[in-house]
Structure 1
Amino acid sequence: MAPAITLAADAPTLSSANTGFMLICSALVMLMTPGLAFFYGGMVRVKSTLNMLMMSFISLGIVTILWVLYGFSLAFGTDSGSLIGWNSDWVGLSNIGLTELWDGYTIPVFVFLVFQLMFAIITPALISGALADRVKFSAWALFITLWVTIVYFPVAHWVWGAGGWAFELGVIDFAGGTAVHINAGAAALGVILVIGKRVGFKKDPMRPHSLPLVMLGAGLLWFGWFGFNAGSWLGNDDGVGALMFVNTQVATAAAMLAWLIYEKIRHGAFTTLGAASGAVAGLVAITPSGGAVSPLGAIAVGVIAGVLCAMAVGLKYKFGYDDSLDVVGVHLVGGVVGSLLIGFFASGKGQSEVQGLFYGGGLDQFWKQCAGVFAVLGYSLVVSAILAFLLDKTIGMRVPEDDEVAGIDQAEHAETAYDFSGAGGGAARSNITGPVADSASKKVDA
């Protein structure tokens, strides 16, 4: 058959509607990182709150600069060996035209790159939840720098870059089940196996200090995730983005309910932490699969992910790894579940005509999904563990034990999340002056 001829009139032209839609989606994804900071920040003890917030916020700074300098080029530049990309014109983003379109789409390159930047930012931030209470902030900042360079940028190219081996194989990952969630979850497991447990793990109570903060963070994540998922189709012309939007809501609701029911049966109560965690598990699982499954399939994905992730969070006590805020149990397990279920529930009526086992497509897509899932999991786990080991043996990854016990916020940031000294009355709120006031003030400060 003769090759098709693309006429100039058929070439994509800039769409102001899609451009505006994608800029809004980019802003929504950016909001997810502060949302994650609140989600994690509420789950730790009071003495670690600020450090947990900062471990997410610092990613906004570091990854943005790296993306401009070379990250976008490595992830989405011209393919080399199906493993990495490169485009010297994109270094520093200095040779990109204002109206230059992303190949095959109706949005500018600048819009595509800023949308993908927000994915690159939140992925290492996800890892931080597994390391709560015990990691030097300077070591964490250096880890982010090395990790996104050696792990995230190449994996993003494998999965989404033209010529990447997983992309060419036909692995389906609509919005980041492998590149974001499995990648971050496996990295978290690799690092915690190197740096070890928190002081008092399985002995001291380590309950969340602010469940309202957790729920606020979960709400922001849920809201931002519509941009994360629906925006990943890079347009709004054919209904696939709308399908993904619907499936995001449906799977998240199903996972939250499934987690709560499991929790009630297993532990006897419906908890707010369970509701928040179940919602995030559903969001994670539908991220790779939402463009391929029907809304009924999304319910199945959500229910399965909600139950399996709820079961998985307890594995850390059985196997003895200290995943502080259940990054492995939710993001790694949820990402694996959502990615593999495509092989069963893909309807052939969404983002492509690929059908899963339950729709008559056999197991062909399932094996492709397995290849993508376990390659990313293995690579991220091993390389992340090596990076953590090297940093631990050079600059040290952990704070001293005394600082961990006293509180990492004061040790690393010279601040505390809550100023309890001004909560009472007395000299702090009186007009008394002189020695009596000085003495009262010293008692309050103590």
Structure 2
Amino acid sequence: MNKLITKLGLTSLALLPSLAMAAAPAVADKADNAFMMICTALVLFMSIPGIALFYGGLIRGKNVLSMLTQVAVTFSLVCVLWVIYGYSLAFSEGNAFFGSFQWAMLKNIELKALMGSFYQYIHIAFQASFACITVGLIVGALAERIRFSAVLIFVVVWLTLAYLPIAHMVWAGGLLAQDGALDFAGGTVVHINAAVAGLVGAYLVGKRAGFGKEAFKPHNLPMVFLGTAILYVGWFGFNAGSASSANEIAALAFLNTVVATAGAVLSWVFGEWAVRGKPSLLGACSGFIAGLVAITPACGYVGVGGALIIGLAGGLAGLWGVTTLKKWLRVDDPCDVFGVHGVCGILGCILTGVFASSSLGGVGYAEGVTMGHQVWIQLFSVGVTIVWTAVVAFIGFKLADMIVGLRVPEDQEREGLDVNSHGENAYNQ
């Protein structure tokens, strides 16, 4: 992996902070510090308000406040846990699966400590934003019937035992990084991780009352569009920021994000048009998310042509995920977390192994690595992530069920979580 980083000309601590710290003495660069602070703010913008509005518009009006509350409070919970022990367990030196407690409560971190060319405090905030949005993604699969207290219990368990070790394995020199897995900005750590947890939760909490018999339509498509637009803008902080420097790799990731997303919107909309007879705004919004997810693990490794192909494939894969696959799985996933983030995340991770090839316009593999071997590594990293997060999610949801119960009573569910769980109404009658 060291050879790969040398070849890319990166000292990206979003990828491998422990290895970058072992490089030549770092010097603070004001441009890189400013760049990373802006990128961090953009990723935070993705959660509050991006995910909140996107998911809030997708569900029924009687539950929209419950969704906004879940996103806002889990966001805050993750931030606090991140400072107490999360950052340390994810990014400090440790074993193949976890870091240590050397940075618990951010102790032993000096004010002027650097991670590459920017201050470590910014790295802490940047990586916190990733953890926050990953948890935020999960709640979309549980919408409209889960207890608020159960969500909070689950988040503590899952963040500790799933997100932190997978982040360490991929980005901090752990198991998958040692194997040479490529995940530039979170295909495994964020999207597959969250999607599988959401799928497990959707099965365990059960289908919404009336599912399959009543029409459950998005209550506010303009809200969905606004959330999509915010996510799109914020995603440039997500992807370009993962270069950890205002350099040529950040520029590549930025352009690849534009191109892949545009391709996915077109492939989703035209695919939907061909199958259903009409192109929809919801389809276009879904295409945006599908393309962004698919290019995330690849954006700093593949060429622009490869990014376009990944985007086009991602749009069709996402469309298949929320229509055909969802029916096969017989799951009630109100915001299509697995159909989009899971399917497109898996696709993007695998295609990263293909289009990173220099012969296809990518930056190339580590010395001695072939396309076949890299694809196998990508498949292995996907498999480890799926199994690990599924097991932890099952444990987390079961613990929450034992302590407070997963689901609200049916009469409260039918009346709506807004008034019953939070004592509020989004819209005055």
Same fold (TM over 0.5): yes
Q: Hey, what does 1:49 align to over in structure 2?
A: 64
Q: Distance in 2 between matches of 1:320 and 1:277?
A: 20
Please give the secondary structure, in 2, of the residue aligned with 1:97.
coil
Q: Hey, what does 2:322 align to over in structure 1?
A: 313
Q: Distance in 2 between matches of 1:388 and 1:63?
A: 17
Does residue 213 of structure 1 match 2:223?
Answer: yes
Query: How has the CA–CA distance of structure 1 residues 345 and 353 changed in structure 2, closer, same or farther, with 3 Å as cutoff?
Result: closer
Does residue 155 of structure 1 match 2:166?
Answer: yes
Does residue 75 of structure 1 match 2:90?
Answer: yes
What is the number of residues matched between the two proteins?
Answer: 403
Contact 2:150 2:406 (C-alpha < 8 Å) held by counterparts: yes
Q: Hey, what does 2:135 align to over in structure 1?
A: 124
Q: Hey, what does 2:258 align to over in structure 1?
A: 249
Does residue 143 of structure 1 match 2:148?
Answer: no
Does residue 326 of structure 1 match 2:336?
Answer: yes
Question: How many percent of aligned residue pairs carry the same amino acid?
Answer: 44
Q: Distance in 1 between matches of 2:158 and 2:308?
A: 34
Moved >3 Å (runs of 4+): 347-352
Deviating more after overlay: 226-235 vs 138-147: 138-147
Q: In the TM superposition, what is the alpha-carbon distance from 1:289 to its structure 2 partner?
A: 0.6
| Bigger radius of gyration | 1
Query: How has the CA–CA distance of structure 1 residues 351 and 155 changed in structure 2, closer, same or farther, with 3 Å as cutoff?
Result: farther
Q: Hey, what does 2:35 align to over in structure 1?
A: 21
Q: Distance in 2 between matches of 1:281 and 1:96?
A: 38
Please give the secondary structure, in 1, of the residue aligned with 2:99.
strand
Does residue 277 of structure 1 match 2:286?
Answer: yes
Does residue 173 of structure 1 match 2:195?
Answer: no
Query: How has the CA–CA distance of structure 1 residues 10 and 181 changed in structure 2, closer, same or farther, with 3 Å as cutoff?
Result: closer
Residue-by-residue CA offset, 1:35-72 (whole Å, 9 max, x unaligned): 01000000001001001111111122100110100000
Q: Hey, what does 1:342 align to over in structure 2?
A: 352
Please give the secondary structure, in 2, of the residue aligned with 1:98.
coil
Ranked by relative contact order (alpha carbons within 8 Å, sequence separation 6 or more), the top structure is 2
Q: Hey, what does 2:311 align to over in structure 1?
A: 302
The CA RMSD measured in Å over matched residues stands at 1.7
Q: In the TM superposition, what is the alpha-carbon distance from 1:236 to its structure 2 partner?
A: 1.4
Contact 1:185 1:331 (C-alpha < 8 Å) held by counterparts: yes
Unpaired runs of at least 5, structure 1: 1-8, 421-446
Please give the secondary structure, in 2, of the residue aligned with 1:21.
helix
Residue-by-residue CA offset, 1:269-307 (whole Å, 9 max, x unaligned): 111110001100000010001111111111100011100
Query: How has the CA–CA distance of structure 1 residues 309 and 355 changed in structure 2, closer, same or farther, with 3 Å as cutoff?
Result: farther
Please report the TM-score for the alignment, with normalisation by the length of structure 1: 0.88
Q: In the TM superposition, what is the alpha-carbon distance from 1:351 to its structure 2 partner?
A: 8.1
Q: Hey, what does 1:423 align to over in structure 2?
A: none
Does residue 399 of structure 1 match 2:408?
Answer: yes
Q: Distance in 1 between matches of 2:338 and 2:245?
A: 32
Contact 1:174 1:229 (C-alpha < 8 Å) held by counterparts: yes
Please give the secondary structure, in 1, of the residue aligned with 2:358.
coil
Please report the TM-score for the alignment, with normalisation by the length of structure 2: 0.91
Q: In the TM superposition, what is the alpha-carbon distance from 1:355 to its structure 2 partner?
A: 8.0
Contact 1:193 1:385 (C-alpha < 8 Å) held by counterparts: no
Of 114, 120, 124, the match for 1:113: 124
Contact 1:348 1:355 (C-alpha < 8 Å) held by counterparts: no
| Aligned-partner residue type, residue 17 of structure 1 | A
Q: Distance in 1 between matches of 2:169 and 2:372?
A: 22
| Aligned-partner residue type, residue 140 of structure 2 | G
